[in-house]
Structure 1
Amino acid sequence: MSNESPLIAALRLCVPADQVLTEPGDCWAYGYDNSRQQALPDAVVFATDAEQVQQVVRLCNEHGTPLVARGRGTGTTGATVPVGGGVVLSFERMDRVLEVDPDNRLMVVEPGVTNQAVQDAAGQHGFFWPPDPTSAAVCTVGGNLAYNSAGPRAVKYGTPRENTLGLRAVTGDGHMLRTGVHTTKGVVGYDLTRLIIGSEGTLAIITEATLKLTPLPDAKRTLQAVYRNMSDAARAVAALMAQPVTPCALEFMDRGAIEMIRAYAEADLPVDAGALLMIEVDGAADYVDTAAEAVARVARVDGALSVEVARSDEAVRALWATRKALSPALRNVAPKKINEDVVVPVSHIPDLIEGLQTLGKRHGITIVNFGHAGNGNIHVNLLVDPEDPQQMQAAEQCLDEVFALVLKLRGSLSGEHGIGLVKRAFVDREIEPETLDLMRRIKAQFDPAGILNPGKGFPDPA
């Protein structure tokens, strides 16, 4: 104990002994996320309430020590990797649902609660929280808010920013904030809630969130549409998003993804399938069949090989089995693939896919694409071997050109995975210098000493 730093000694005084880890072997597991980035923190602290969070932040601020907030580490951009050492503040023990208020359609939770636990608690009262990332069973609400991670339902119901009423958070200098409202309207002051959401723990550390709930629909219908090529599918997407029935999910896979599934699992798809859409509509029981038929009619553009509406739970499972086979197939073929999420306007999806195919051929890299077609959020997967230096060098150049293509198409470098470490060097291509400078000054107001998740989000100043 005598060899411990003053900060570690102070941490042991402000939280119980079993809430602080300092042995490297214990801390190592909290130094990485779902990217290939990793760094060893000096200590890991498990907070159990907001007051402990505030004390830890104040101590780190006093000692000028980096502080990185962490949920369950499911992020893919290295945003929770403690590249400067310091303290990792884990929220896995702050996992309570504090309040469910069905009358006002809200729920108050701690940041360490999982997305699935929120859905289960809301579902008991006939509600749900719209954000539904693929990792919902394990990812935390705090992480969802940090990245503004949404999932398929965002096409109809929006992202965490549209589904969070307010927050409690601690700034980098240890001040406790309450942002937002408990109502669906409120314009008093600046919207700090939406500013903190998506900031990846660089402005403030969230200790509590008031979530906006949505009533569960009576019924849902699932459709699968197959097309000759991505251009035909993109025309269908544009038509679907222009008609009155907004799908609650509109997912797509390109030819490479389809062929990978066909090789990995038995998929009942036309041999000349060049693109696939998975479509869901929801609503009142006496309306949803009519809505599904309307969507099916619109989806039958020229180039549609098949449009099928599932009529039973078994049929729904069969249709989604195709999509669910993709991730195991990718893991089987390329367990260490590079996965980037980008966004382009829906009308530019075919230009993006065509450009990605060209880049893949030029650099000798297989690229497989799938994602949320309804809002142009595409997951670009480069199937590479990290043990092959030549291939990784080609992948680095390829990624550079992928991001250039996305920006040329008036898109954005990230839709829901965030910036973290892996994309920070590219941010100044999307954001102008004056805007970046303002963002850095905002960061300095929230975190004067720069201790909150340093080295993330922005490129280094010139």
Structure 2
Amino acid sequence: MSNKSSPSLNTSTEQAPLPASFLAALADIFTAAELLTAPADCWTYGYDNSRRHVLPQAVAFATSHEQVVATVLACNQFNIPLTARGRGTGTTGATVPLQGGLVLSLERMNQVLEFSPDNRYIRVQPGITNQQVQDIVKAHGFFWPPDPTSAAFCSIGGNLAYNSAGPKAVKYGTPRENTLGLRAVTGAGKDLRVGVFTSKGVVGYDLTRLIIGSEGTLAIITEATLKLTPLPEATKTLRAVYQDVFAAAKAVAAIMAQPVVPCALEFIDGNAINMIRQYSTCDLPENAGAILMIEVDGQREGLDSAAQKVADSAKNDGLLDIRVAQTREEVQALWQTRKALSPALRKVAPKKINEDVVVPVTEIPTLIAGLDELSKQYQLPIINFGHAGNGNIHVNLLLNPDDPEQSARAHQCLDEVFSLVLKLNGTLSGEHGVGLEKRDFVDRELDANSLELMRAIKRQFDPKGILNAGKMLPLG
């Protein structure tokens, strides 16, 4: 077993004061209302949803592409670390300013720049929230498929930086499949326009997909052209209850092997079910070992038949119960199980470790069985749920991180969780990203030649290494 562990929580760093000439340059770029330098004012912008914190030395609020360009050029001139930030909902420490320096908040860049329903795209600034985009395009009969749980709060720029997807990715794909083009500023301060405004285009290298998911280490996104999808006429929701995870995983493979692709296929294991039962009034069989929440969408005509095909494929010897909701109230009742999970987890372990790993769908039973063994070995409860249709499982280690001995056991357990995932031909992250939490494990998944090439790409985009330094790729 590797001795690697998660990087330690860092609440303060010894930093040389920012040069007066650099602060003067910032004052020329931003108004007084757009620039913070007092530690008490900057404090909030030193952390994200990972519990990690490093105090930035200054915070600037950009409202235009030109301000971003000028800021990056100033940081290059004075060699100041620069961390771009959306709304801080990420869980991996990717927006924590490890080296202090300047945090560039994009939350005020929240405008719609162009909306072309006939061409099925919307061009937006990065600070607009996912939900705001959904509300705008819904009125015209469209949606943007990426729908993370934090949609009401997270920004489009953050979605793109992490390639955050959500349940609908099983049918509609991730931000990489739903973004036509970007405007961005490299770490060298160069203005980029990448991608297209059309549904097809193969000119040059695909820099759009390269920048998406790069966690602000290559360039800062200032505009995004999002590909829109027509809203389905109707949806059908099903809940299938199984006696164990092996039966549920067998059903997942069968569902994904037939022609009707669900728009959501969510998995909840037995440990999660038992916890939900303690904290909610959900109607669940006592012997439930796993649950699948399934949603099918499309044209109203023929949807009943499509839902029935999915239901038939979900049936096996381990199925205990399957329900198809017929009314909106029944849909809400079926989803109550899934919605009860997060509040229950917050009550049980508000400082849990939550890692989103991905394995081939056929390996889900082996993964869950292995996690159960690790739970017993390290005497830590492990709760598992997630997007079963693409094998994206959220592994939750419940612990009290203020207990040093328990925290040490948890990080040893996490080390073995990652080893298990890679042994099953999986990947260490599906949508939460790498940031700091998984940085020191990345070289287990990527070979040395790949890492060397990625570091060379980083140097090409960001020669001085000022953008989000110390993230994503292992140090060295």
**TM-score (norm: length of structure 1):** 0.99
Residue 36 of structure 1 deviates from its aligned partner by 1.4
| Residue 285 of structure 1, aligned match among 300, 320, 326 | 300
- Tell whether 2:182 aligns with 1:167: yes
In the TM superposition, 1:50-69 aligns within 5 A as 50-69=65-84
Once residues 351 and 3 of structure 1 are traced to their aligned partners in structure 2, the CA distance between those partners, rounded to angstroms, is 52
- Tell whether 2:418 aligns with 1:406: no
2:74 is matched by which residue type in structure 1?
L
Structure 1 match to 2:54: 39
1:440 is matched by which residue type in structure 2?
R
Structure 1 match to 2:124: 109
- Aligned to 1:166, what secondary structure does the other structure show? strand
| Residue 386 of structure 2, aligned match among 356, 367, 371 | 371
2:271 is matched by which residue type in structure 1?
G
Residue 58 of structure 1 deviates from its aligned partner by 0.4
Once residues 124 and 166 of structure 1 are traced to their aligned partners in structure 2, the CA distance between those partners, rounded to angstroms, is 23
Structure 2 match to 1:199: 214
| Residue 301 of structure 1, aligned match among 316, 319, 323 | 316
Structure 2 match to 1:272: 287
Residue 5 of structure 1 deviates from its aligned partner by 2.4
Structure 2 match to 1:121: 136
Structure 2 match to 1:229: 244
- Tell whether 2:36 aligns with 1:21: yes
In the TM superposition, 1:410-429 aligns within 5 A as 410-429=425-444
Once residues 371 and 129 of structure 1 are traced to their aligned partners in structure 2, the CA distance between those partners, rounded to angstroms, is 20
Q: Which runs of 5+ in 1 are unaligned?
A: none
- Tell whether 2:70 aligns with 1:71: no
In the TM superposition, 1:379-394 aligns within 5 A as 379-394=394-409
| Residue 255 of structure 1, aligned match among 251, 270, 273 | 270
Residue 15 of structure 1 deviates from its aligned partner by 1.4
**TM-score (norm: length of structure 2):** 0.96
Structure 1 match to 2:335: 320
Once residues 225 and 460 of structure 2 are traced to their aligned partners in structure 1, the CA distance between those partners, rounded to angstroms, is 24
Once residues 455 and 191 of structure 1 are traced to their aligned partners in structure 2, the CA distance between those partners, rounded to angstroms, is 25
Q: Deviation string for 1:232-277 (max 9, x for gaps)?
A: 0000000000001000000010000000000111121111100000
1:231 is matched by which residue type in structure 2?
F
Residue 378 of structure 1 deviates from its aligned partner by 0.5
Once residues 258 and 54 of structure 1 are traced to their aligned partners in structure 2, the CA distance between those partners, rounded to angstroms, is 50
Count of residues in Structure 1 that have an aligned counterpart in Structure 2? 460
For the structure 1 residues 224 and 442, does the alpha-carbon distance in structure 2 shift closer, same or farther, using more than 3 Å as the test?
same
| Residue 163 of structure 2, aligned match among 144, 148, 151 | 148
Q: Deviation string for 1:170-213 (max 9, x for gaps)?
A: 00110000000001110000000000000000000000000000
| Residue 85 of structure 1, aligned match among 82, 96, 100 | 100
Residue 449 of structure 1 deviates from its aligned partner by 0.3
Once residues 213 and 262 of structure 2 are traced to their aligned partners in structure 1, the CA distance between those partners, rounded to angstroms, is 25
- Aligned to 1:387, what secondary structure does the other structure show? coil
Q: Deviation string for 1:431-450 (max 9, x for gaps)?
A: 00000000000000000000
- Tell whether 2:366 aligns with 1:351: yes
Structure 1 match to 2:6: none
Structure 1 match to 2:64: 49
Once residues 423 and 23 of structure 1 are traced to their aligned partners in structure 2, the CA distance between those partners, rounded to angstroms, is 31
Structure 1 match to 2:457: 442
Structure 2 match to 1:9: 24
Residue 3 of structure 1 deviates from its aligned partner by 9.2
- Aligned to 1:83, what secondary structure does the other structure show? coil
Q: Percent identity?
A: 67
Structure 1 match to 2:4: none
Residue 297 of structure 1 deviates from its aligned partner by 1.0
- Aligned to 1:286, what secondary structure does the other structure show? coil
- Aligned to 1:434, what secondary structure does the other structure show? helix
Once residues 150 and 95 of structure 1 are traced to their aligned partners in structure 2, the CA distance between those partners, rounded to angstroms, is 20
Residue 16 of structure 1 deviates from its aligned partner by 1.2
Once residues 408 and 8 of structure 1 are traced to their aligned partners in structure 2, the CA distance between those partners, rounded to angstroms, is 50
Once residues 191 and 3 of structure 1 are traced to their aligned partners in structure 2, the CA distance between those partners, rounded to angstroms, is 37
Q: Deviation string for 1:69-105 (max 9, x for gaps)?
A: 1011000000000010011000111001111111111
Once residues 3 and 135 of structure 1 are traced to their aligned partners in structure 2, the CA distance between those partners, rounded to angstroms, is 34
Residue 4 of structure 1 deviates from its aligned partner by 6.1
Once residues 71 and 3 of structure 1 are traced to their aligned partners in structure 2, the CA distance between those partners, rounded to angstroms, is 23
- Tell whether 2:192 aligns with 1:177: yes
Question: What RMSD over aligned residues (CA atoms) do the two structures have, in Å?
Answer: 0.9
Runs of 4 or more above 3 Å deviation: none
1:434 is matched by which residue type in structure 2?
N
Structure 1 match to 2:9: none
Once residues 438 and 105 of structure 1 are traced to their aligned partners in structure 2, the CA distance between those partners, rounded to angstroms, is 35
Structure 1 match to 2:354: 339
Once residues 44 and 104 of structure 1 are traced to their aligned partners in structure 2, the CA distance between those partners, rounded to angstroms, is 37
Once residues 240 and 176 of structure 2 are traced to their aligned partners in structure 1, the CA distance between those partners, rounded to angstroms, is 30
